[in-house]
Amino acid sequence: MKKAYLVFKNGKIFEGFSFGAEKDSVGELVFTTSMVGYLETLTDPSYKGQIVIQTFPLIGNYGVIPEDFEGEPALSGYVVGEYSKKPSNFRCEYDLDVFLKEKNIPGIYGIDTRELTKILREEGVLSAGIYQNPPKDFKQLENFTLTDAVESVSSQKVTVYEPIGEEKHSVVLIDYGAKQNIIRSLTKRGCKVTVVPFDTSGEDILSMSPDGVMLSNGPGDPADNVYQIEQIKKLIGKIPIFGICLGHQLTALAMGAKTVKLKYGHRGSNQPVKDLIGGRTFITTQNHGYAVVPKSIPSGAVLKYINANDSSCEGILYPDKKCFTVQFHPEACAGPHDTDFLFDDFITMMEEEKNAQR
């Protein structure tokens, strides 16, 4: 039980125990309220540059199951209250400590995660570091900024995923840090999915003649992605588009809306979202620190979903542009699956566009 330290940029220090990689690491300290799915959290590229606190007290109890991974880990550190050293699950292949060491991610346990979460809820997200020994100064923490977030997690080559069963549609997925279950959600619906890097031009995408375009989730400040926003402008109105998380934010920016950084973001699998048109409330999984400003949504666009807790924007329809986007994750794995139907809506939109062109 080797000591480790979680250090805030204001100098506040929490003492715990080290597991995973024995290294120092700095990032943006955030918390997730998910009670299950820690493997999906650890392998979500959207956590690039962040040190993640799990508010659920016991983590690692079902070990590591590679089949459940969503992507390549990109987070900077992992903070848990209690780390289970003896996992028990028939699918478990090894434990969490081994996983973190393999991925070079430092972890710390034995910390009061409730107190940490209360601090972030009151003060907002802030930079922090996991250290093997307390630092002598805090300049590294004070100067921390996340750069090239999307570039560092996007695929660098074109990859094609064949549909399960008969091919019904072809979809280009722009990878800003895509989760694997987005691909699975499309292929099981008969879509051939072509995953392209984040910097693929709008012209190149249109030259592939897809039936639709999927804009994935991803990390960082959406406003930093100037080139990507310009490419989306070339696609809107020409082809059916479905955007998730960062893809939702980039589309809004391309249409002239604005984004803002939330005080502590929405991260977890219990976020309530209200459908302003249908009236129903869904429970969703979310992982984002920025949101679209509702009052900045352009004329012609429709605010369809809002967060039931803080009324922030959760989804927009662009009726005249063959496009809709959501802030939450309808492909959520390990759940909930309340909004999985949005992939069916995307399929319907592509079918309607095909019929209109005949």
Tens of pLDDT along 53-84?
A: 999 999 999 999 999 999 999 999 999 999 99
135 — phi, psi (to 5°)? -70, 155
- Residues with Cβ within 8 Å of residue 126, at least 6 apart in sequence: 8, 9, 10, 28, 29, 120
Give dist(CA 336, CA 338) in Å, integer.
6
| For residues 249-269, average pLDDT | 97
Residue 215's pLDDT is what? 98
| For residues 112-117, average pLDDT | 96
Q: Is 92 exposed, middle or buried (0-12, 13-18, 19+ CB in 10 A)?
A: middle
Q: Which residue type occupies 332?
A: A
Q: Is the pLDDT of residue 10 over 90?
A: no
The strand order across the sheet containing 302-307 reads 159-161, 191-196, 169-174, 212-215, 241-244, 323-326, 313-318, 302-307, 259-275, 281-292
Confidence label for 131 from pLDDT (cuts 50, 70 and 90): very high
* Residues 269-319: tens digit of each pLDDT: 999 999 999 999 999 999 999 999 999 999 999 999 999 999 999 999 999
- Token pair of 63, please? 């070990």
In order of start, what are the domains of the chain with their CATH numbers?
3-142 (3.50.30.20), 149-357 (3.40.50.880)
Q: What percentage of the chain has pLDDT greater than the value 90?
A: 96
* Residues 159-176: tens digit of each pLDDT: 999 999 999 999 999 999
Confidence label for 137 from pLDDT (cuts 50, 70 and 90): confident
Residue 272's pLDDT is what? 98
Residue 358's pLDDT is what? 80
Residues labelled as active-site residues? 245, 329, 331
Confidence label for 208 from pLDDT (cuts 50, 70 and 90): very high
